[in-house]
A and B are shown apart, each in its own frame.
Chain A
Amino acid sequence: MSTAAATKSAANTVRKVKRKKPLPRWAALLIGLGVGAVIWELAARIYFDPIFFAPLSEVVTSLVTLFGTDTFWRALGESLQLFVAGFSIGAILGLVIGVAIGRVSLVAAALESYVTLLYVTPPIALIPFVLSILGFGYWPKAIIVAWFVFFPVCITTIEGVRAVNPRLIEVAHSFGSSEAKIWKDILIPSTIPYAMSGIRQGIALGFVGVVAAEFLLDASGIGLLLRTYSRLYQTGNLFAAVLIMTALGLSVMAIGRVIERRFAPWRQ
């Protein structure tokens, strides 16, 4: 309910109502970005040593240059490839094991405690182990990414399988339905929304995993760019690369939300 500002007048006269028009949202957004940009530019030029803080203009130039180079696109491709590899492994394993745990109580008895325990362990902390066992290379990195992706997918899938109304399964059984049909007709459709929510989280975490793996194991892709620029104090390029990471991160989150909305519209 809006409360309009009213001018006071004598008791019985008609009152005029003035409504305050709120600033349109895109205007607020532009102002916010604009102010930030100005502060960035000025602060960098006036206060800070250019080695430590590249002004916005320099970062923009670096960005543009970067887009023109081969190195950048190749790096992006490497990272993307790593993401796809790790994500596929992690997601598939997560779905399969999640369904197994949710549906087969023996498997649940055996595995669920471990899964939950590992879920709360910071995935980053596992990297030194992978490194010392498997060394540098492509597949260790993919395994790390898979690790990041596996847990949200698995946990949400378990939740989804368990959330199936047992009454429905009872009904199916009493009509003589085979296990396979139960899967097809009941389990899979009701698990999908949950699993998709997990996939959304998996996408986001997979992205983090890629960067982490590329940073901490042998560098490739975007991680390599970040490390190189920071080592060479190429602050302009470094900031540009980070901005690209931000953009990627935002896109990843947006894609995830689209997926979730398509498959699980009831989740926030």
Chain B
Amino acid sequence: MSQVATEHRSGATPDHQGIVVQGLTKYYGDHCVFKDISFEIGPTEIVSVVGPSGCGKTTLLRCLNGLIHADEGSVLVDGDLVSKPRPEIAIVFQDFGLFPWKTALDNVAYGLTVRGTPKKKARETARDFVKLVALDGFEERYPHQLSGGMQQRAGLARALAVEPRVLLMDEPFGALDAQTRELMQFELLQIWDRNPAAMLFVTHGIEEAVLMGDRVIVLGGRPSGIHEVVDVPLPRPRDAATVASPEFQNLRSQVWDLVMTVRRNTAGADEE
């Protein structure tokens, strides 16, 4: 499987600098979605973001890939300002976002074809990534013929196929049942180990955040901002044993307490 990784790792260059977010602030009208968010993600780091509903996690993610523009602050990827979607930045959606009229293979190839890769070549490349996410055999199926887990693998393959420097995950396993969710977490970690990229992993799940990330950012408050950042120095590769370890459980409690605090703060500020 690492064959695939080396063949497609062509993008690694010395100036792969990861993500730098500085002073990011966003308003919708008068409502402040988040204020003054700053953090960095190294070129091969995973940073998780947790927080109560409404803390702006999703908006933050959209700012990072250029779909939305913040009112203040900046986002740099590899040293360049992000002002619109770029080929180095790929995003995976919670509801998969597959086009129902395309087969799984064509969906995976979409990121390539839409930026001009000839269809034949795009599909060849896509096939490799379909195999990578263990979806081979299902290439010609339509999304409605795939289970949720399979659809999300396709969504993941689509993002990976463009060989991004940055992977943005928007609660990618939120729509899956608990078992599939856990399986997918480990699978994603394995895939990422072989094809590292800077990853921002937004989630509601506290365990998930600790499992995935090198760091966990706890977002929240009124106005929403970075409440605290927790380092997760657990060794990689991570697996079921990691989850069972006492260190993991400690970190999990730590993050849990922080999130509960933030929830109370946010709720408290609401009661006026």
Known interface pairs A8-B81, A8-B83. Does A14 touch B72 (Cβ–Cβ under 8 Å)? Answer: yes
Which residues of A (1-29) have their CB < 8 Å from a CB of B? 1, 3-6, 8, 11-15, 17
Q: Is A15 a contact partner of B74 (Cβ separation < 8 A)?
A: yes
Number of residues on chain B facing chain A (CB within 8 A): 14
Q: Is B69 a contact partner of A12 (Cβ separation < 8 A)?
A: no
Tell me the minimal C-beta distance from B178 to chain A in angstroms: 30
Across-interface contacts of B62 in A (CB, < 8 A) = 1
Known interface pairs A6-B83, A8-B81. Does A15 touch B72 (Cβ–Cβ under 8 Å)? Answer: yes
Neighbour of A3 across the interface among B68, B71, B73, B74, CB < 8 A: B68
Q: Is B69 a contact partner of A4 (Cβ separation < 8 A)?
A: yes
Across-interface contacts of A3 in B (CB, < 8 A) = 67-69
A5–B67 Cα distance when bound, in Å, is 11
Across-interface contacts of A17 in B (CB, < 8 A) = 69, 71
Across-interface contacts of A4 in B (CB, < 8 A) = 69
A3–B67 Cα distance when bound, in Å, is 7
Q: Cβ of B22 < 8 Å from any Cβ of A?
A: yes
Q: Is A11 a contact partner of B76 (Cβ separation < 8 A)?
A: yes
Q: Is B71 a contact partner of A12 (Cβ separation < 8 A)?
A: no
A236–B215 Cα distance when bound, in Å, is 77
Q: Cβ of B130 < 8 Å from any Cβ of A?
A: no
Q: Cβ of B70 < 8 Å from any Cβ of A?
A: yes
Known interface pairs A11-B81, A12-B22. Does A1 touch B68 (Cβ–Cβ under 8 Å)? Answer: yes
Tell me the minimal C-beta distance from B70 to chain A in angstroms: 7
A6–B83 Cα distance when bound, in Å, is 8
A4–B62 Cα distance when bound, in Å, is 13
A163–B216 Cα distance when bound, in Å, is 53
Q: Is A6 a contact partner of B74 (Cβ separation < 8 A)?
A: no
Q: Is B67 a contact partner of A1 (Cβ separation < 8 A)?
A: yes
> Contact string, A136-175, partner B, CB cutoff 8 A, digits 1/0?
0000000000000000000000000000000000000000
Chain A to chain B contacts (Cβ below 8 Å), 22 pairs: A1-B62, A1-B67, A1-B68, A3-B69, A4-B69, A5-B69, A6-B69, A6-B83, A8-B81, A8-B83, A11-B22, A11-B74, A11-B76, A12-B22, A12-B23, A12-B74, A13-B74, A14-B73, A15-B70, A15-B71, A15-B74, A17-B71
10 interchain residue pairs of minimum CB distance: A6-B69, A14-B72, A4-B69, A17-B71, A11-B74, A12-B22, A11-B76, A11-B81, A1-B68, A12-B74
